[in-house]
Amino acid sequence: MNYQSLLDSIATEVAPMIGQGKVADYIPALARVPIAQFGIALRTIDGHTAAAGDADTPFSIQSVSKVLGLTLGLQAMGPTLWERIGREPSGNAFNSLVQLESERGKPRNPFINAGALCVADRLLSAHAEPARVFAELGRQLHGASFVFDEEVARSERETGYRNAALVNFIKSFKQIDNDVEDVLALYCHQCSIVATCTQLAHAFGYLANGGEQPGTGARIVDREQARRINSVMLTCGTYDAAGEFAFKVGIPCKSGVGGAIVAVIPGEMVLCAWSPGLDETGNSVVARRALELFVTRTGLSVF
C-alpha cells in the first residue's frame, strides 16, 4: 500500500475540519497555540515512513506522556506497579475526583490524571532523577533525548489546582509515598515533553513490535508488558471517549490535550495524528477523524 498517498488524501479530506474544537485554554501556555494546524505521520515496524501536513511541527505531548510513564514504571517495578493503580475505564473526565473517595484513593487506570500521578510517585521512589530518566528514554526510542518545555511545565503547575487536589487526596489514603510537590513537579514536566508527529510515530514503535524497538533491537519492555500497555490504551487511552474510539477507530490509542493521538497497530506500525482543537472529552477533533479514515481505508484494526 502507498501510505504516503493515503496520508496525503486523508490530509486533504480533513482540511475543512481544521480549526474545529477548542484549544486547552485552561493551561495558559497552551491557550496561545494556533488552532489551524494538522499533522499525521506513520512508521512501520520495518522502517517505512510517511507524513503529511504539519507532521514536523513540535507540540506539547501532554497525556501521551502517560504511556512513557507507564513504560518506565513497568521497567522499574514490573507487575507490582498495579498494586496501587487499576486497569478499568473510569467513565469520568480525566481529572475527576469522583471515584477516588469510594475506591479509597486507588485510581481506575494509569491514563487518567490520578493514575499518572501515582505512576509519577512510583518513579520518584525508583529513580534519583526521574525527569532525567524520562528524557533519556527518548534517546532509546527515537535517537534523541526528550526535551521539556519549561514554560508549559510551569504554566501547568501554577494553574493545576485540580491535580494538586488529586495528589493530596490520594496521599490521604496513603497511596502516595513522596512529597506532593515533587510528584506534581515530575508530572508537569513529563506532560511538557515536546515532540512532533514524526518523532512520536518513531518513538512508540516498541508497542507495535512486542516491546522491542524496531531498527535498534533495544528491548524496552517484554512482550507481555507491551501487550498490557496496548490493552490499557485501547480501553482507557482516550479518557471517557474510549468506547467511542474502540467503536470507530478500533486500535490502541493515547491522546493528550495538546492535540496529539498516538495509535498502535500491533505487528504493523504506529501512527501519530495531531491538531490542537479538542472536543468536549479532551480529544482532538481532526486527529480522531484522520485515524478513523486511515483504519476505514486500510482495514487495519484489532477487530
Active-site entry in 66, 206, 249, 255: 66
Query: From its phi and psi, is residue 243 left (phi > 0), alpha (psi between -120 and 50) or beta?
Result: alpha
Active-site entry in 63, 65, 255, 284: 63
What is the grid cell recorded at 265? 497497530
Query: Angle 156-188-105 (CA atoms, 0-180°, nearest 5)?
Result: 105
Which residue do the cell numbers 495509535 mark?
Answer: 263
Helix locations, 15-129, DSSP H: 28-31, 65-77, 98-102, 113-126
Residue 63 designated active-site: yes
Cβ pair 231, 207 in contact under 8 A:
no
Residue 5 designated active-site: no
Residue 257 designated active-site: yes
Cβ pair 84, 175 in contact under 8 A:
yes
Residue 174 designated active-site: no
Cβ pair 147, 86 in contact under 8 A:
no
Instruction: Write the DSSP symbol of residue 219.
Output: B
Instruction: Write the DSSP symbol of residue 275.
Output: -
Cβ pair 297, 6 in contact under 8 A:
yes
Active-site entry in 257, 264, 286, 295: 257
Query: Angle 49-145-78 (CA atoms, 0-180°, nearest 5)?
Result: 90
d(CA 26, CA 95): 12
Residue 187 designated active-site: yes
Q: How many residues does the chain have?
A: 303
Active-site entry in 14, 64, 67, 187: 187
Which residue do the cell numbers 489514603 mark?
Answer: 173
The residues that are catalytic are 63, 66, 187, 239, 257
